[in-house]
Amino acid sequence: MSVRSRSVTSAVAVVAAGLLVLTAWFAAVAPRAKAAGAGFVQRCGVHFCVNSQVQYFAGANSYDLFTYGSGSGDTETQYMDKAAIDTQMANMAADGVSVLRTWMFSHESWHGFEPSKGQMNEQEWSEFDYILYSASRHGIRVIPTLENYWSAYGGIGQLLNWEGLSSGDPANGQFFDPSKCANCLADYEYEVDYALNRVNHYTGVAYKNDPTIFAWELMNEPRHQNQTPDDNTTGTVFRQWEDTVGAHIKSIDGNHMIDNGIEGQGSSYGYGSDNGVPYVYECQSPYIDFCSAHVYPTESWANLSAAATQSLIAKYIADAHNSAGKPMFLGEFNTSSATRSTYWPAIYSTIEAGNGDADAFWWYENSGKDGTYGVLHGDPVLAAFTAHSNADKAKSGGGGPSTTPSTTPSTTPSTTPTTAPSTTPTTSSTPSTTPPPGACRVVYQLNDWGTTFNGSVTMYNTGATAINGWTLKFAFPGPQTITNAWNAVTTQSGKQVTAVNPASYDITIPAGGSLNFGFSATSTPGTNGVPATFTLNGMTCSQ
């Protein structure tokens, strides 16, 4: 939420949230890194999935977990307050929180991750190790927010100051423009590299290999407002920045999704103003896996009724699914305490009706710090949240609802799958219709980073009858090895790859339709390329 629109007395209120939490089956900390893809949250078309099963997530923000403890003294017994962290996790789990958004940034001296340029604070990172450890033990997965647009805890304004530049809003917008801040990208990527490669000292698992982490959020509420004459509406400067850092993250971490953390404001939504990060355009980045929006309808500048709020959220979900072809995460929302009994049921019913994929109210606190938006364990309004969480759990694990994005392949190599799960799965894995010669076409898109790459495979049924159950075979041109796949079950023998439909969705390719699956893999630089031949159920496909 914008610093200008939240009136609270502490830095608590200026910032707006980071950490997602996942499903209760993940009840114990893994003692070692798991194989890529095992238990990670992924994108399956316009929805989230875990182990090929569609999942929905009801969650909360608890942004200040990283400040629990004295911030000085012995790391394990004083600097961090493990009991307070565990209690907060236990309370959230009891209320039904399955996703948690929280901060993983601060440039301050107290509880700072990077209190001075290029100098990381091991005590603070050890505390975040424990946050992840506790989250996993309580069935919670986390979206860490990597940086802050606003000034609380330093944010990107501190990085600009380190480079001798002014900060504040809108001056912070220059952070995203390398012609205005030549070193800002390197400063940001230094933080990213440290986080992704850090090994949790409680579990021995690198962050980039930890399925407790739901996704990486690039920044809390970034914007590029009033920097150039037209960028408020075009959003090209921020898009170039998110593409650059998104590709950088994907080159290091092939396990986790990415979101951009934007608020979704814009004149086309009748909510806030155009601020250089248009919702759909920024979400369409091939490196962004799901769309983000933050909604505060009872703020004076918003002044939305419950019905208008429902319409706004429904549009966010529809635009994410139908225009961007991706899941939708309502990363922050709340209303004044006196109106929650009206707004919360209206918001949750809209999310459920539109098959919104995840949400996190602002914010689940551990003491009465914020009388405007704070929610404490035992608050009566949490009954509405728990009912919503139970509704999400009830519809998770199946084929998912019928919101299938366009089957037209993207001209930009995608790093994530782009086809929604089928709503009418069959149990048969044997093709009931053998495609005649020329009845299939395959488009193979490659995003190569040298030693690692992502592949996106779209199968087109050009025949007159549906293909019920499919097996696609192809051979890599060199020493490529699949490490993780989505929307397909893959096996590999040498260069030969066999991809088979999942057990519970994406089984049927309708006549004239298509299905997509994707994978991450390793490679030897200079040896990658498009496979020469694809066979679908034994028939050679055109390309």
Q: Find the mean pLDDT for residues 67-86.
A: 97
User: Which pLDDT score, from 0 to 100, does residue 438 have?
Assistant: 55
Residues 360, 220: contact at Cβ < 8 Å? no
Q: Determine phi and psi for 421, rounding to 5 degrees.
A: -60, 145
User: Which pLDDT score, from 0 to 100, does residue 405 have?
Assistant: 26
Pinpoint the alpha helices (H) of 256-364: 279-283, 306-318, 340-353
Query: CA 520, CA 40: separation in Å to the nearest integer?
Result: 13
Query: CA 541, CA 129: separation in Å to the nearest integer?
Result: 48
Tokens (6 digits) for 162: 């380190």
User: Which pLDDT score, from 0 to 100, does residue 502 have?
Assistant: 86
Phi/psi-derived region of residue 349, left when phi > 0, alpha when psi is between -120 and 50, beta in every other case: alpha
Per-residue pLDDT for 60 more than 70? yes
User: Which pLDDT score, from 0 to 100, does residue 225 have?
Assistant: 95
Per-residue pLDDT for 420 more than 50? no
Q: Find the mean pLDDT for residues 428-455.
A: 66
CA proximity to 410, closest of 441, 449, 444, 438: 444
Per-residue pLDDT for 201 more than 90? yes
Q: Find the mean pLDDT for residues 437-455.
A: 80
Residues 316, 262: contact at Cβ < 8 Å? no
Query: CA 127, CA 200: separation in Å to the nearest integer?
Result: 10
Helix (H) or strand (E) holding 486: strand 481-486
Per-residue pLDDT of 489-530, as tens digits, reads 999 999 999 999 988 777 888 888 888 888 888 999 889 999
- Give 408-411's long-range contacts (Cβ < 8 A, gap of 24+): 409/443, 409/445, 409/458, 410/286, 410/445
* Strand ranges for 382-465 from DSSP E: 440-448, 452-461
Tokens (6 digits) for 123: 């005590």
User: Which pLDDT score, from 0 to 100, does residue 293 have?
Assistant: 98
* Measured CA distances, 476 to 365, 389, 543 (Å): 51, 43, 15
Per-residue pLDDT for 423 more than 50? no
Q: Find the mean pLDDT for residues 38-43.
A: 88
**pLDDT band per the 50, 70, 90 thresholds, residue 1:** low
Query: CA 62, CA 18: separation in Å to the nearest integer?
Result: 7
Per-residue pLDDT of 129-147, as tens digits, reads 999 999 999 999 999 999 9
User: Which pLDDT score, from 0 to 100, does residue 382 have?
Assistant: 97
User: Which pLDDT score, from 0 to 100, does residue 449 have?
Assistant: 72
**What does the CA dihedral 260, 410, 268, 302 come to, rounded to 10 degrees?**
-20
From 313-317, 326-330, 484-488, the region with the lowest mean pLDDT: 484-488
Per-residue pLDDT of 230-289, as tens digits, reads 999 999 999 999 999 999 999 999 999 999 999 999 999 999 999 999 999 999 999 999
User: Which pLDDT score, from 0 to 100, does residue 38 have?
Assistant: 60
Per-residue pLDDT for 365 more than 80? yes
Per-residue pLDDT for 4 more than 70? no
Q: Find the mean pLDDT for residues 39-44.
A: 93
Tokens 């504040």 identify what position? 168
Mean pLDDT, the chain, integer? 86
CA proximity to 135, closest of 78, 71, 77, 211: 211
